């Protein structure tokens, strides 16, 4: 492990920082990232020091519905693995630090490269492996809460960078749902209830009944850098639902990779919600390796204030009769920006492949901006491919329709926007997550409007 990290560090040291001339980073904010201002967590975290975070993560998991297993990570590693759904041979959820414990396929799916890939590998602390044996069907999701940044009361550690690594493997015929939530420790909130105080990590903090757990924290000290990598290995005829909710603080940086590989007859449904971050990049890379492999890749995102959301997707068809469908829907308000750069690649031999890609962007303020760039690379005949993208304000026809029924213009716009988010949020393969994301988006949009006095 040490050697692996050392080699990565050497490569990192000579790797160039991407710039805006680099097509893949053209719309990013990466030029403003001061890597030197963040410190990696050097020591493995001690679970007993983070009991409150674990308890909060437990509450969060519970709010999403039944939970088969819960894992909690902080910068440096895993602090808790719990199996409320019972132990047993059929499911393994564990952190590993030593080379002999690492999953065999680690790194074979994400194929990390570039400066952030090397950085991730150089500071990789602990790998969380979720292993579902062949034929096992999990009746409830495995929830992973990745807590970024410096926990309250640990300010002496500086602005922490974290490098969460999750490896999910489903054996042949297995079926499971995995939920990953990314939150900032400093954004943790306390809900005041009539029954007393309950700590929670619900990351909004904008409702009037909530207040931040660290009221004194300046925006600078609450900033974190997260470079998470998740690899999803879907075996033959296996079915994985993967849900990722990014609800980091508004000052934080995220450069995430979510890579999946689907074997013959397997299926993945992945859903990614982008809510937080000053700059949040997600690369969704899906490789359909086996005949008849299928993927449904979904995302919903909302940027307000100065946020930038940056998405890169690859639907890589490597096998015959593989099918992929991608729907990324988002909105930008205030001065927020979003970028979508998506590639459908049909390799030679992937005849009968069927690929679909769509990206819709609602632009809700004049100062906001969205870019959408679809790409096709087709090396095989006899395939079906389509892509569509839109960038624009609330549809005039929809607004007219509602107004023609007697709905006032401002309310008509509010309904259309809320409907857009509802549709995007509720595609989540877990209804609890869909509701959470929908509420979170409505609250964030409302909060942004209060601040800017718009709407």
Based on CB atoms, which residue is closest to another protein, 192 or 395? 395
Q: Nearest 5°: CA angle at 285, between 392 and 19?
A: 70
Coarse DSSP helix, strand, coil percentages of the chain, rounded to the nearest 5 percent: 25, 40, 40
Q: Does residue 412 touch another protein according to CB under 8 A?
A: yes
By CB under 8 A, name the one of 42, 409, 431, 451 that touches another protein: 409
Round to whole Å and give the CA distance between 68 and 177: 9
Q: How far is the CB of 409 from another protein (least distance, A)?
A: 6
Footprint of another protein on residues 359-398 (CB under 8 A)?
395-398
Nearer to another protein, 56 or 332 (CB): 332
State which residue, 335 or 422, has the beta carbon closest to another protein.
422
Burial of 158 (0-12, 13-18, 19+ CB in 10 A): middle
Least distance (Å) between residue 435 CB and another protein: 13
Among 419, 431, 450, 454, binds another protein (CB under 8 A): 419
Asked if residue 85 lies in contact with residue 69, where contact means CB atoms within 8 angstroms, the answer is yes
Closest CB to another protein among residues 105, 392: 392
User: What's the start-to-end Cα distance of the chain, in Å?
Assistant: 53
The residue (of 76 and 429) whose beta carbon lies closer to another protein is 429
The whole-angstrom separation of Cα 374 and Cα 377 is 10
Measured from the CB atom, the residue of 170 and 327 that comes closer to another protein is 327
Q: Please, which residue, 220 or 404, has the CB nearer to another protein?
A: 404
Minimum distance from CB of 424 to another protein (Å)? Answer: 8
CA–CA dist 43, 35 (Å, integer): 19
* Distance in angstroms (rounded) separating the CA atoms of residues 334 and 329: 18
89 binds another protein (CB under 8 A): no
- Residue with smaller CB distance to another protein, 59 or 423: 423
* Crossing angle (nearest 10°) for helices 409-425 and 431-452: 140
- For 337-398, the DSSP string reads EEEEEEEEEE-TT-TT-EEEEEEEEEE-STT-EEEEEEEEEE--SS-EEEEEEEEESS-HHH
Helix (H, G, I), strand (E, B) or coil at 291: coil
Residue 420: CB minimum distance to another protein, A:
6
The DSSP secondary structure of 38-99, one letter per residue, reads -EE--SPPPGGGGHHHHHHHHHHHHHTS--SEEEEEETTEEEEEE-TT---TT-EEEEE-SG
Q: Using the rule CB under 8 A, is 407 a contact of another protein?
A: yes
* ∠ CA 363-366-372, rounded to 5°: 40
Among 421, 432, 434, 437, binds another protein (CB under 8 A): 421
Least Å from the CB of residue 388 to another protein: 15
Out of 403, 442, 443, 452, the only residue in the binding site for another protein (CB under 8 A) is 403
- Least Å distance, CB 321 to another protein, is 27
Least distance from another protein to the Cβ atom of residue 416, Å = 6
Strand partners, 160: 39
- When the beta carbons of 45 and 330 are compared against another protein, the nearer one is 330
State the Cα–Cα distance between residues 128 and 95, nearest whole angstrom: 4
Q: Which among 276, 372, 386 has a CA at the least distance from the CA of 323?
A: 386
Pick the binder of another protein from 408, 431, 450, 454 (CB under 8 A). 408
For residue 422, how far is the Cα from the chain centroid? 18
402 binds another protein (CB under 8 A): yes
401 belongs to the binding site for another protein (CB under 8 A): yes
Shortest reach from residue 162's CB to another protein, in Å: 35
Q: Does 10 bind another protein (CB under 8 A)?
A: no
Rule CB under 8 A: is residue 406 a binding residue for another protein? yes
Does position 404 interact with another protein (CB under 8 A)? The reply is yes
Does residue 279 interact with another protein by CB under 8 A? no
Residue 378 Cβ, how far from another protein at the closest point, in Å? 30
Residue 422 touches another protein, criterion: CB under 8 A: yes
Q: Give the full edge-to-edge strand order of the sheet including 196-200.
A: 196-200, 189-193, 210-212
* Residue 114 token pair: 């570039």
Stretch of 12-20, 157-165, 344-352, 400-408 lying at the interface with another protein (CB under 8 A): 400-408
State which residue, 181 or 300, has the beta carbon closest to another protein. 300
Q: What are the CA-CA distances from residue 159 to residues 285, 409, 443 (Å)? A: 29, 45, 27
| Interaction between residue 443 and another protein (CB under 8 A) | no
CB of 405 to another protein, least distance (A): 5
For another protein, the binding residues (CB under 8 A) are 395-398, 400-409, 411-412, 415-416, 418-423
């Amino acid at each position: 492990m040490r050697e692996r990290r050392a080699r990565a560090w050497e490569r990192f040291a000579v790797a160039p920082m991407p710039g805006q001339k680099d097509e893949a980073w053209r719309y990013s904010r990466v030029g403003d990232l001061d890597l030197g201002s963040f410190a990696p967590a050097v020591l493995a975290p001690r679970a007993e020091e983070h009991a409150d975070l674990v308890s909060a993560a437990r509450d969060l998991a519970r709010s999403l519905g039944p939970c088969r297993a819960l894992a909690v990570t902080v910068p440096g590693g895993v602090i808790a693995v719990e199996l409320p759904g019972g132990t047993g041979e059929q499911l393994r959820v564990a952190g590993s630090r030593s080379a002999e414990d690492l999953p065999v396929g680690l790194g074979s799916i994400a194929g990390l490269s570039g400066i952030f890939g090397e950085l991730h590998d150089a500071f990789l602390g602990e790998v969380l492996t979720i292993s579902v044996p062949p034929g096992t069907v999990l009746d409830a999701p495995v929830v992973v809460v990745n807590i970024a940044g410096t926990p309250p009361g640990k300010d002496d550690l500086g602005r922490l960078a974290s490098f969460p690594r999750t490896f999910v493997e489903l054996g042949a015929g297995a079926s499971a749902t995995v939920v990953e939530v990314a939150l900032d420790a400093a954004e943790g909130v306390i809900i005041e209830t009539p029954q007393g105080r309950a700590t929670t990590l619900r990351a909004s903090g904008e409702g009037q009944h909530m207040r931040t757990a660290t009221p004194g924290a300046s925006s600078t000290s609450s900033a974190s850098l997260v470079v998470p990598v998740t690899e999803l290995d879907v075996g033959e005829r296996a079915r994985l639902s993967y849900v990722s909710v990014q609800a980091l603080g508004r000052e934080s940086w995220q450069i995430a990779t979510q890579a999946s590989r689907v074997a013959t007859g397997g299926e993945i449904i992945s859903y990614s919600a982008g809510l937080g971050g000053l700059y949040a990049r997600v690369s969704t890379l899906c490789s359909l390796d086996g005949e008849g492999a299928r993927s449904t890749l979904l995302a919903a995102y909302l940027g307000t204030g100065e946020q930038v959301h940056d998405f890169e997707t690859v639907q890589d068809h490597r096998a015959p009769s593989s099918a992929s469908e991608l729907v990324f829907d988002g909105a930008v308000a205030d001065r927020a920006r979003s970028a979508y750069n998506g590639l459908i690649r049909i390799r030679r031999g992937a005849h009968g492949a069927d690929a679909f890609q769509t990206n819709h962007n609602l632009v809700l303020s004049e100062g906001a901006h969205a870019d959408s760039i679809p790409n096709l690379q087709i090396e095989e005949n006899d395939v079906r491919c389509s892509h569509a993208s839109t960038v624009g304000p609330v549809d005039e026809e929809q607004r007219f329709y509602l107004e023609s029924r007697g709905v006032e213009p401002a309310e008509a716009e509010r309904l259309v926007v809320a409907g857009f988010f509802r549709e995007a949020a509720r595609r989540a393969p877990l209804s609890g997550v869909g509701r959470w994301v929908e509420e979170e988006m409505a609250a964030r949009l409302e909060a942004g409007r209060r601040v800017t006095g718009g709407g």
